[in-house]
C-alpha cells in the first residue's frame, strides 16, 4: 500500500502479528457463541444539574477465564476483517434486551445510544434491522439513538444521507460523533440533518496555539444553538473543563468527571438506591456568569467585534425565571 516502495522487507514479527489477529478472530467467534461480549454504560449528563439524561453502550470483552480484552485491541481488527457488523448486531440486540427488561419491570427508561459504522451501513440495512429489533422487544426507537462518527459522513455522503433519512422516518435519533475531527464538518451540517453533535474534549489538547481551540469550540457551540442542535462534550475529566463548557453554553457532558463506564448491574444498583452521586458532581453556581465577563474568558472574543450595546439574559427553566447579566 505504499506507492514508490519497490522493495519490502519481511520480518518474523509480521507472522506473529498475523497469527495473533487470527487467534483473536477465532476467539471472538467463540466469544459470541458463549456470550462473552457485554456492554458497559456511560452516562451523559445535564451539566447544569448533573441529571443523567441518556447513556452510551460501550462494548467490552470478558473472556470465560475472567480476563478482559481491550476494545482498542479488538475493535480495529473487527473493522478491518469485516467481523464488526456481526459483532455490532450482537451488541445492538443486547441493548434492546436490556431496555425491554427495564420496561417490563416498570423502570423509567433512559435512552441508550449505540454505535454504527460505515461497514455496518454497507453490509446490512441498518435502519430496517434496528426497526425490527425495537418492534421485537416492544421498545420505542427514541430509546435507541444511533451514533455515527463524522468520518463516516465524508466517506459516502449520499449513502449516509439516505440512511439517516430512513433512520428519522423510523423514529430514530442520530448523533454525529467526533464532530470537528474530520474535514467536512460544515458541509455535513449543511447537507445532513443530524439531531445531536458530540465533540471530544481531545479537540482542546491537540494544538500548541493556546486559546485557539477554545475559541473554535465556543463558536461551534454557539453555531449549534443557532441550528437548534444540542451539543454533548465527551471525554470530560476535569473540573476546569466543566467550567469552560458551562461558560460557553454547552448543555450536556459525558466523561470520567461525572461517571466512568459501568456494568449494567452497577447502573441498576445506582438507580434502585436512588443515589444522587451524579448530581453532586457539579453544583451549578455563578461560574458561567463570572467567566463570561472575565477579560480572559474565551467568550470575550464572541463579543469583541460588536459595535453596539448588548444585553444578555440567562433563562433558568427549572426556576422559571430570567436573570439579566
Q: What are 113-129's pLDDT values in tens digits?
A: 999 999 999 999 999 99
The values of phi and psi at residue 217, to 5°, are -65, -40
Instruction: Give 5's pLDDT tier (boundaries 50, 70, 90).
Output: confident
The reported pLDDT for the residue numbered 176 is 92
Distance CA 54, CA 56 (A): 7
Q: What are 186-226's pLDDT values in tens digits?
A: 777 777 889 999 998 887 765 555 678 888 889 889 999 88
The values of phi and psi at residue 190, to 5°, are -75, -40
The reported pLDDT for the residue numbered 153 is 76
The reported pLDDT for the residue numbered 246 is 87
Long-range CB contacts for residues 24-27, cutoff 8 Å, separation at least 24: 24/69, 24/73, 24/74, 24/77, 25/77, 25/81, 25/83, 27/63
Q: What is the DSSP letter of 217?
A: H
Cross-strand pairs, 69: 61
Whether pLDDT at 321 is above 80: no
The pLDDT mean for the chain works out to: 83
pTM (two decimals): 0.81
Across the range 44-59, mean pLDDT stands at: 90
Across the range 282-300, mean pLDDT stands at: 44
Instruction: Give 285's pLDDT tier (boundaries 50, 70, 90).
Output: very low
Q: Which of 111, 125, 226 is nearest to 166 (CA)?
A: 125
Distance CA 177, CA 232 (A): 9
The answer to which of 43-52, 254-263, 301-310 has the lowest mean pLDDT is: 301-310
The reported pLDDT for the residue numbered 183 is 63
The reported pLDDT for the residue numbered 120 is 95
Amino acid at each position: 500500500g505504499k506507492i514508490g516502495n519497490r522493495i519490502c522487507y519481511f520480518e518474523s514479527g509480521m507472522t506473529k502479528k498475523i497469527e495473533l489477529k487470527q487467534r483473536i478472530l477465532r476467539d471472538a467467534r467463540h466469544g459470541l457463541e458463549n456470550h462473552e461480549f457485554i456492554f458497559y454504560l456511560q452516562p451523559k449528563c445535564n451539566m447544569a444539574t448533573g441529571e443523567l439524561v441518556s447513556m452510551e453502550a460501550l462494548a467490552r470483552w470478558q473472556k470465560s477465564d475472567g480476563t478482559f480484552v481491550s476494545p482498542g485491541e479488538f475493535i480495529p481488527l473487527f473493522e478491518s476483517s469485516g467481523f464488526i457488523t456481526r459483532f455490532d448486531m450482537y451488541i445492538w440486540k443486547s441493548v434492546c434486551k436490556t431496555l425491554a427488561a427495564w420496561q417490563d419491570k416498570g423502570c423509567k427508561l433512559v435512552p441508550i445510544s449505540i454505535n454504527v459504522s460505515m461497514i455496518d451501513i454497507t453490509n446490512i440495512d441498518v435502519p430496517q434491522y434496528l426497526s425490527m429489533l425495537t418492534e421485537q422487544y416492544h421498545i420505542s426507537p427514541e430509546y435507541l439513538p444511533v451514533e455515527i462518527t463524522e468520518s463516516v459522513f465524508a466517506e459516502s455522503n449520499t449513502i449516509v444521507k439516505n440512511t439517516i433519512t430512513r433512520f428519522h422516518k423510523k423514529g430514530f435519533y442520530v448523533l454525529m460523533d467526533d464532530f470537528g475531527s474530520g474535514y467536512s464538518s460544515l458541509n455535513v451540517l449543511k447537507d445532513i440533518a443530524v439531531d445531536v453533535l458530540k465533540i471530544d474534549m481531545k479537540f482542546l489538547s491537540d494544538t500548541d496555539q493556546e486559546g485557539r481551540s477554545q475559541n473554535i469550540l465556543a463558536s461551534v457551540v454557539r453555531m449549534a444553538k443557532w441550528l437548534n442542535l444540542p451539543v454533548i462534550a465527551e471525554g470530560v475529566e476535569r473540573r476546569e473543563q466543566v467550567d469552560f463548557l458551562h461558560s460557553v453554553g454547552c448543555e450536556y457532558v459525558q466523561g470520567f468527571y461525572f461517571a466512568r463506564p459501568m456494568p449494567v448491574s452497577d447502573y441498576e444498583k445506582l438507580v434502585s438506591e436512588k443515589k444522587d452521586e451524579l448530581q453532586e458532581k457539579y453544583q451549578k453556581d455563578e461560574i458561567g456568569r463570572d467567566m463570561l465577563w472575565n477579560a480572559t474568558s474565551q467568550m470575550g472574543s464572541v463579543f469583541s467585534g460588536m459595535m453596539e450595546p448588548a444585553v444578555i439574559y440567562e433563562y433558568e427553566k427549572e426556576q422559571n425565571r430570567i436573570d439579566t447579566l
